[in-house]
Each structure stands twice: as C-alpha cells, then as structure tokens.
Amino acid sequence: MRTKVAVIGSGNIGTDLMFKVLRRSDVLEMGAMVGIDPASDGLARAGRLGVPTTAEGIGGLVAMSHFDDIRIVLDATSAAAHKENAAALADTHVRLVDLTPAAIGPFVVPAVNLDAHLDARNLNMVTCGGQATVPIVAAVSRITPVVYAEIVASIASRSAGPGTRANIDEFTETTARAVESVGGARRGKAVIVLNPAEPPLVMRDTVFALIDDPSPVVHAAIRKSVHAMVDTVASYVPGYRLKQEVQITPIEAPVDTLLHPGNRTAPTHQVTVFLEVEGAAHYLPAYAGNLDIMTAAALRVAERMADA
C-alpha cells in the first residue's frame, strides 16, 4: 500500500512535486493538494487529475475527512508560512518535509545524509543551491579537511518565483549553514545570482573549496570522490552533471581572512567544481533545474521516510 502525502503550496514547486509523486513514485500517493488561491493553476491541475484539493490552506487540510490517512506533508510554501504550518501540525500524526529555507528541522541532503534524521518530525531540504553544492563539499571533505567553502548558485530569473525572491536572505544563511554542518566545511558562504538572460539559462553552480593538502594522491582521490558524488545525485536528479573537469590549483595570495577564528591552518590549494542542473520538465521548463533538484530531493526523502 502506498503512503499518502499532501503537498502544501500550489505554485510552481508544489505543482511540480505533485507531478513527480504521480509519475515517478511507486511508494507515495497524492492525498491532497493544498493552496490558498482557488484560481491557482496547481489546484486546477490537481482537480483534473483527481487529487483532493483545498484552497483553505493548512486549516483546510486538517479539516479534510481523510486527513488521518495522510502520513507525510511536503511544504512548498515560504519560510514564514512553513513556521505557521509546522505549528498548526505540531500535535498531529503527520511528518513534514520542508522545501523552504525555514530550517526548523535538521538539514537533509539525500546524497550525503539521507538516513541520518529519519526519526525527526520535520526535515528541512535546505535550498536548491544547497542540494546542488553541499554534496560536492561533502565529497571533498570526506577526503581531506575543507578549511573554507564558498558556493555560487546562478538560476534563471524566470524560475525565481515570489517565494524565492522573498527568501533571499534565508537562502544564503541556510545554505551556508548546510555547507558547514552537512558538507563538512569549517566555514561556509553562499551566494545566489538571478540571471535575467533570455532565453533563460539552466541552473549553474560553482563550488570553491580551500584545502591544506598538496599531495597529488589526495588530489586524485578528491576528483574520484567528486565524480562518484555527481553520479549519486544524478541517480535522483538526472539533469545534474559536471560542466567541466574538477580543477585543483595552488593558492598564491594570502587567505587568512577566510579562516575560522583561531584556525592556524593555511590552505594551500583551491578545489573548483562547475555544475549544471537541467530540469526534468515534468511541469516546469527544463531551465528550472533549481526547482527540479528541490522537488526530486524532497521526493527521495519522502520515499525513504515512507519505507523506514
């Protein structure tokens, strides 16, 4: 028997997530699509597909006659809305997968720590930039310590909806924290770029990781680790790929200002990884890889929660 889930948020991310549940999952079943705009395309599409809907938000979901059958709620709203939704569901039986940068629960990046927090009531999917880049930082840090990591996520302006634009600060803060706590960097930084190019470009991500190890053997191990991690992420995000070969170059300029206070390790090399994420176009355009990686990762986590 499949596990019933509800999706909160009938915008682009929530609607794409619904299509992934319907088309790709042998474990999950759509129990409800929840929105606040009766005229939204997501609610209309859900209704045509036979998915129960409500335009009354979280209150409407809890009032549904079959709410007790829903085991997992995937929240694709905003950081502020998720805090209200989590509070409203705190005393219920459901578990939450949070696709916003609210960061109430532990960070989960499937390629890195899929099984680490399966007992938590509320799991956070970090951000699209985090899902794309934290695995790479982790791939480096499992070979050698990462003194500092900086990620730059460039997404098509058209793929940045109101929720993304309203949560820019939360995006950078949450992603940087995940680079450290999940990726393993001693210090992390995140930057997001909304690219207005026409036609829209697919998501591009750059990872810079500073290490203190000049050994060619270690550098070879890093390249192998990164390639293996890319394959792991691509197993659930088919459009995820390296744009160029992994670069490892000596550092010539002083970088003391990048070091964590009290850290006496001076990095000697920079690892640079260029990534591209193309969407699967289940509902969103193929250039919206930033949204696709979030919904694909959330689907993977919800399926694992259902199996646990």
Provide the annotated binding site for NAD(+). Answer: 10-13, 159-167, 290
> What's the pTM value of the predicted model, to 2 decimals?
0.94
Q: Under a CB-based contact definition with an 8 Å cutoff, are residues 53 and 9 in contact?
A: no
- Beta strand 269-277 with 247-250 is antiparallel
Per-residue pLDDT of the chain (308 residues; tens, 9 = 90+): 899 999 999 999 999 999 999 999 999 999 999 999 999 999 999 999 999 999 999 999 999 999 999 999 999 999 899 999 999 999 999 999 999 988 999 999 999 999 999 999 999 999 999 999 999 999 999 999 999 999 999 999 999 877 778 778 888 999 999 999 999 999 999 999 999 999 999 999 999 999 999 999 999 999 999 999 999 999 999 999 999 999 999 997 666 555 555 555 678 999 999 999 999 998 999 999 999 999 999 999 999 999 98
Q: Give the helix ranges, DSSP H, for 142-199.
A: 162-166, 168-181
271 DSSP β-pair partners: 209, 248
Q: Nearest CA to 25 among 4, 47, 54? A: 4
156 DSSP β-pair partners: 195
- Residue among 6, 96, 128, 190 flagged as catalytic: 128
CA distance 87 to 265: 43
Q: Verify whether residue 58 is a known catalytic residue.
A: no
Helical packing angle, 41-48 and 12-24, nearest 10°: 20
Class level of CATH domain 128-286: alpha beta
Q: State phi, psi for 17 to the nearest 5 degrees.
A: -65, -40
Rounded to the nearest 5 degrees, what angle is found at the Cα of 168, between the Cα atoms of 35 and 95? 45
> Could you identify the residue written with the tokens 């070969």?
245
Position 198 scores a pLDDT of: 95
Q: Under a CB-based contact definition with an 8 Å cutoff, are residues 99 and 294 in contact?
A: yes
**In 14-38, which positions are buried (b, 16+ CB within 10 angstroms) versus exposed (e)?**
bbbbbbbbbebbebbbbbbbbbbee
Position 252 scores a pLDDT of: 78
- Residue extents of the structural domains in the chain: 3-125+292-307, 128-286
SS3 243: coil
Cα distances (Å, whole numbers) of residue 73 to 62, 90, 96, 140: 11, 12, 5, 33
Position 256 scores a pLDDT of: 58
CATH of 3-125+292-307 among 3.40.50.10210, 3.40.50.720, 3.40.50.980, 3.40.190.10: 3.40.50.720
Position 259 scores a pLDDT of: 55
**Maximum Cα interatomic distance, the chain, rounded to a whole number of Å:** 65
Residue 235 is classified by DSSP as T
73 DSSP β-pair partners: 6, 96
Position 61 scores a pLDDT of: 98
